[in-house]
Amino acid sequence: GGSSGIGAATALELARCGARVILATRSARRGEAAASRIRRETGNNEVLFMHLDLASLRSVRAFASTFLRQEPQLHLLINNAGVSAGGTTEDGFSLPFQVNHLGHFLLTQLLLERLRSCAPSRVVIVASSAHCAGRLRPEALGRPPSGLFSTFQDYCDSKLANVLHARELATREQGTQVTCYAVHPGFVNTSLFRHAPLWLQPLLLPLAWLLFLDAAEGARAVLDCATRDGLEPLSGRYFTHGGPRVPWPAGRDDRLARELWEGSERLVGL
């Protein structure tokens, strides 16, 4: 998710710090353009594009295979890409749930051994305060919710999954020096809501321009979790611009976190 918005702003700052940065994005045109722009602005030629479509588990596996073959080092994985609404993926899952959670879950699992071998390493999952309205049902994972506000509910469910994914990953990786953080970047004016229903867009777009942060401001909380020294004891926690925060009760449910993990493994075929 590094071709625009928070992801591009995050990649730009990491490149400025001298990191080798892989932009894993769905659009080759936008991904190549973003990588070229970042190389030009920073003078860092170690910024590359690789194709990844999180709406396709086949694409996730292909990306991971190519990455592991070409890149011997991985110290930081930022799961940033997201959509707010949509239909059904080629794998038969709700688009927001697969792009925002399942695709990232599979990607993280496929790259986990490399993260361990390069430790200390970090996984940063871009979540949202919208997790407050999430209602995950383990027996119905990946299925679009029903009801009048199903689009909004689907997005909130995926963001709750982000918070719980970070929590359970941190639990399972204790002792490996792989740490994980879920972060709410604030309300940011990005293309996240490009899949929102047409009737809702006239309301969202003016609000985005008037009230939301710009992408560079939104990237600060993500970069903080990615680069700040001494965060290791806070692995699994939920962060905002103000630092670690207590998530809403569902985001602290360890039983639900385990059930989500086990259900996600089944859905992606692990």
Do 133 and 45 sit in the same domain of this protein?
no
| Counted domains in the chain | 2
- Alpha-carbon gap, residue 262 to 270, rounded angstroms: 9
Do 88 and 154 sit in the same domain of this protein?
yes
The pLDDT score that the predictor gives to residue 157 is: 93
Do 139 and 236 sit in the same domain of this protein?
yes
- Alpha-carbon gap, residue 224 to 217, rounded angstroms: 12
The pLDDT score that the predictor gives to residue 151 is: 82
Do 20 and 68 sit in the same domain of this protein?
no
The bridge status of strand 243-245 relative to strand 238-240 is antiparallel
Do 183 and 171 sit in the same domain of this protein?
yes
| Residue 238 annotated in active site | no
The pLDDT score that the predictor gives to residue 188 is: 46
Do 73 and 27 sit in the same domain of this protein?
no
Do 259 and 245 sit in the same domain of this protein?
yes
Do 126 and 230 sit in the same domain of this protein?
yes
Domain endpoint, select from 10, 34, 51: 51
Do 84 and 11 sit in the same domain of this protein?
no
Sheet with 178-183, side-by-side order of all strands: 76-79, 121-126, 178-183, 238-240, 243-245
The pLDDT score that the predictor gives to residue 186 is: 65
Do 36 and 79 sit in the same domain of this protein?
no
For 1-65, the DSSP string reads: --SSHHHHHHHHHHHHTT--EEEEES-HHHHHHHHHHHHHHH----EEEEE--TT-HHHHHHHHH
Domain housing 177: 55-268
CATH code for the domain of 254 = 3.40.50.720
The pLDDT score that the predictor gives to residue 211 is: 43
* Positions in the chain whose pLDDT score sits under 70: 148, 186-216
pTM of the model: 0.88
The pLDDT score that the predictor gives to residue 27 is: 94
From the candidates 49, 93, 155, 239, which is the catalytic residue? 155
The pLDDT score that the predictor gives to residue 187 is: 58
Do 78 and 20 sit in the same domain of this protein?
no
Q: What is the pLDDT of residues 168-192, one digit of tens each?
A: 999 999 999 999 999 998 654 445 4
Domain endpoint, select from 51, 71, 88: 51
- Alpha-carbon gap, residue 244 to 269, rounded angstroms: 33
Do 97 and 6 sit in the same domain of this protein?
no
